[in-house]
Amino acid sequence: MASEKVPYLVGIDVGGTTVKVALVTMDGDVADFSAVRTESMQTPGELASAAGKVRAMAEGFAGDDAYIAAVGLALPGVVTPEDELLLAPNVQVNLEGLVDALAEAFGVPVYPMNDANAAALGELWRGSGQGARNLVFVTLGTGVGGGIVVDGKVVVGRGGTGEIGHLPVVPGGRLCGCGNRGCLEMYTSARGLVHLYRDACARHGQVPVELEHDAHSLPVFEAARHGDDVAVEALDEYARYLGRALAMVACTLDPDAFVVGGGMSAAFDLFGPLVEDAYRDTVIRTCRDIPIRPASLGNLAGMVGAAYHGAQRSGLL
């Protein structure tokens, strides 16, 4: 007796150096996932070859009694509500060509979205945001990004919604890559923390711990963890910027939860309570109880969210 084939979702996350692919059940469980290094993906031949590899990987995970019902793609750029790709400064891939090549390879439409938005949706579906309808996701790493989910759907606006890193928190402050001054990202990215720490060292006449580069924030966290007063002071300042920024966002959205992800969230146990304090000290009273939680899906969040987006857009969820 032939058994009916089981539908699965595929979530793909394209980064600067890798393409990650996950096979996801309709309930959001990751059945399997893998990553391939991003090779040149510019010409039609290269794109078709890459798309073919991704499909082979997904189908290898799925096996014979499964079929792929929907595909979503997370990418580091701005995606409009019409699925137009406006900006993808950090990746040397012909993304429009990749979307088309993947759709061709899988035989179903491929729905692209911004990667921070995908992570927001992933955390909402199966991570720290489960149960929330309205969620603000903040990612802290090389940059500061975010995603906003309202009533279970990512808010896209004209493409730029969730750009929390460019909230202007310091009038006339440090010059940001976006051309403005005083953006949150200048204070709460990895580079931002290193900058705050070096400033604090200068104030106290202390020699900074050795850092490999200007965004090497891990040793600063470690120093704070070991009770280095100056590192603690820098982290406190860091947390105040972030807490106040979340307080601003709370006034406009009043979400069910904040979820903090990205590479720096590995040290959430250290700075999370400080952020909470700063948040509660500054936020409007009615929003004081909104939880601020660390993300729980790690690198899977983008893939899980992309799969969810693919399913939503295909009318499956």
Instruction: Provide the minimum distance between the beta carbon of 176 and Zn ion in the complex, in angstroms, as a whole number.
Output: 3
User: Of 136 and 183, which CB lies nearer to Zn ion in the complex structure?
Assistant: 183
Tokens in use for 246?
Answer: 């979340």
SS3 sequence of the chain: CCCCCEEEEEEEEECCCEEEEEEECCCCCEEEEEEEECCCECCHHHHHHHHHHHHHHHHHHHCCCEEEEEEEEEECCEECCCCCEEECCCCCECHHHHHHHHHHHHCCCEEEEEHHHHHHHHHHHHCCCCCCCCEEEEEECCCEEEEEEECCEECCCCCCCCCHHHCECCCCCCECCCCCECECHHHHCHHHHHHHHHHHHHHHCCCCCCCCCCCCCHHHHHHHHCCCHHHHHHHHHHHHHHHHHHHHHHHHHCCCEEEEECHHHHHHHHHHHHHHHHHHHHCCHHHCCCCEEECCCHHHHHHHHHHHHHHHHCCCC
**Closer CB to Zn ion, residue 124 or residue 169?**
169
Cβ closer to Zn ion: 12 or 169? 169
Q: Which of 237, 239, 182, 241 is nearest to 204 (CA)?
A: 237
Minimal distance, residue 218 CB to Zn ion, in Å? 24
Considering only residues 158 through 197, tell me which ones interact with Zn ion, judged by CB under 5 A: 166, 176, 178, 180, 183
- Measured from the CB of residue 85, what is the shortest distance to Zn ion in angstroms? 20
Between 176 and 232, whose beta carbon lies closer to Zn ion? 176
Nearer to Zn ion, 69 or 183 (CB): 183
Residue 241-280 contact track with Zn ion, rule CB under 5 A, x = bound = ----------------------------------------
State which residue, 36 or 175, has the beta carbon closest to Zn ion. 175
- CA-CA distance, 221 to 235, in Å (whole number)? 8
How many residues interact with Zn ion (rule CB under 5 A)? Answer: 5
Is residue 242 within 8 Å of 184, Cβ to Cβ? yes
- Shortest Å, Cβ 183 to Zn ion: 3
CB of 95 to Zn ion, least distance (A): 22
Cβ 67 to Zn ion, closest distance in Å?
44
Q: CB of 179: closest distance to Zn ion in angstroms?
A: 7
Q: Is 235 in the site for Zn ion (CB under 5 A)?
A: no
Q: x/- site string to Zn ion, residues 99 to 118, per CB under 5 A?
A: --------------------
* Min separation Cβ 181 and Zn ion, Å: 8
Residue 156 or 176: the one with the smaller Cβ distance to Zn ion is: 176
Contact 299, 16 (CB under 8 A): no
Amino acid at 69: A
Residue with smaller CB distance to Zn ion, 60 or 177: 177
Positions touching Zn ion (CB under 5 A) are 166, 176, 178, 180, 183
